[in-house]
Structure 1
Amino acid sequence: MSSWLITGANRGFGLEIARAALEAGDRVVATARKPESIHAALGRFGNRLAVVPLDVTDNEAISAAVDAALERFGRIDVLVNNAGYGQLGPFELVSPEAIARQFSTNLFGAFALTRAVLPAMRSQRSGHIVNISSISGIKGFDGSSIYCASKFALEGWSESLAGELAPFGIRTTLVEPGRFRTDFLDASSVSHGNFAIDDYADYAARRKAELDAANHRQAGDPVRLGRAIVELTRAAHPPVRFAAGREAYDVLLERAGQLEAQAHAWADLSLSLDIDEPGPLANATRHA
Structure 2
Amino acid sequence: MDIKTSNIIITGASSGIGLATAKAAIKRGARVALVARRENRLNALVADLGPNALAFPCDVTKPAQIRNAIDKIIAAFGRIDVLINNAGRGFYAPVEEIDIAAYRALLDLNTIAPLAMMQAVLPQMRSPGSGAIVNVSSGATFGILPGAAAYTSSKSALNMLSDVARTELADINIAVSTIYPFVTDTEFYGSVQEGEAAAETELRNVGSAIHSPDRVADKILGLIRSGERQDDLVPKAFGGTLEA
TM value normalised by structure 2: 0.90
Write out per-residue CA displacement over residues 96-150 of structure 1, whole angstroms, 9 at most, x where no aligned residue. 1011001000000011111011000011200001000001223221111010100
Q: State how far apart, in whole Å, the 1-side matches of 2:140 and 2:74 are.
A: 33
- Indicate whether 1:228 and 2:232 are aligned: no
Q: State how far apart, in whole Å, the 2-side matches of 1:175 and 1:12 are.
A: 15
Runs of 4+ in 1 over 4 A off after TM superposition: 212-218
Q: State how far apart, in whole Å, the 2-side matches of 1:248 and 1:57 are.
A: 34
Match of 1:280 in 2: none
Is the alpha carbon distance of 1:119 and 1:209 closer, same or farther for their aligned partners in structure 2, counting shifts above 3 Å?
closer
Match of 1:239 in 2: 228
Write out per-residue CA displacement over residues 191-250 of structure 1, whole angstroms, 9 at most, x where no aligned residue. 225xxxxxxxxxx96x45514646997621211221232232122xx221211x252785
Match of 1:170 in 2: 174
Match of 1:144 in 2: 148
Q: State how far apart, in whole Å, the 2-side matches of 1:139 and 1:72 are.
A: 42
**Equivalent of 2:54 in 47, 50, 53:** 50
Match of 1:62 in 2: 66
Q: State how far apart, in whole Å, the 2-side matches of 1:156 and 1:211 are.
A: 25
Q: Is the 8 A contact 1:80 1:129 kept in 2?
A: yes
Q: Is the 8 A contact 1:178 1:248 kept in 2?
A: no
Is the alpha carbon distance of 1:52 and 1:217 closer, same or farther for their aligned partners in structure 2, counting shifts above 3 Å?
farther
Q: Matches of residues 89-238 of structure 1 in structure 2 within 5 Å? A: 89-186=93-190, 189-192=191-194, 207=198, 210-211=201-202, 213=204, 219-235=210-226, 238=227
Q: State how far apart, in whole Å, the 2-side matches of 1:216 and 1:31 are.
A: 31
Offset of 1:65 from its aligned partner? 0.9
Q: State how far apart, in whole Å, the 2-side matches of 1:248 and 1:8 are.
A: 28
Offset of 1:93 from its aligned partner? 1.2
**Equivalent of 1:78 in 82, 104, 121:** 82
Structure 1: 5+ residue stretches without partners: 194-203, 255-288
Count of residues paired in the alignment: 238
Please give the secondary structure, in 1, of the residue aligned with 2:187.
Answer: coil
**Equivalent of 1:36 in 37, 40, 44:** 40
- Aligned AA for 2:24? A
Match of 2:239 in 1: 251
Please give the secondary structure, in 2, of the residue aligned with 1:57.
Answer: coil
Offset of 1:168 from its aligned partner? 1.0
Please give the secondary structure, in 2, of the residue aligned with 1:171.
Answer: strand
Write out per-residue CA displacement over residues 148-171 of structure 1, whole angstroms, 9 at most, x where no aligned residue. 100110111111110101111100
Please give the secondary structure, in 2, of the residue aligned with 1:160.
Answer: helix
Q: State how far apart, in whole Å, the 2-side matches of 1:212 and 1:246 are.
A: 14
Please give the secondary structure, in 1, of the residue aligned with 2:223.
Answer: helix
Q: State how far apart, in whole Å, the 2-side matches of 1:43 and 1:124 are.
A: 31
Structure 2: 5+ residue stretches without partners: none
- Aligned AA for 2:229? V
Q: State how far apart, in whole Å, the 2-side matches of 1:117 and 1:215 are.
A: 37
TM value normalised by structure 1: 0.77
Question: Alignment identity in percent?
Answer: 33
- Aligned AA for 2:22? A
- Aligned AA for 1:247? P
Is the alpha carbon distance of 1:218 and 1:42 closer, same or farther for their aligned partners in structure 2, counting shifts above 3 Å?
farther
Please give the secondary structure, in 1, of the residue aligned with 2:118.
Answer: helix
Q: Is the 8 A contact 1:19 1:42 kept in 2?
A: no
Is the alpha carbon distance of 1:248 and 1:49 closer, same or farther for their aligned partners in structure 2, counting shifts above 3 Å?
farther
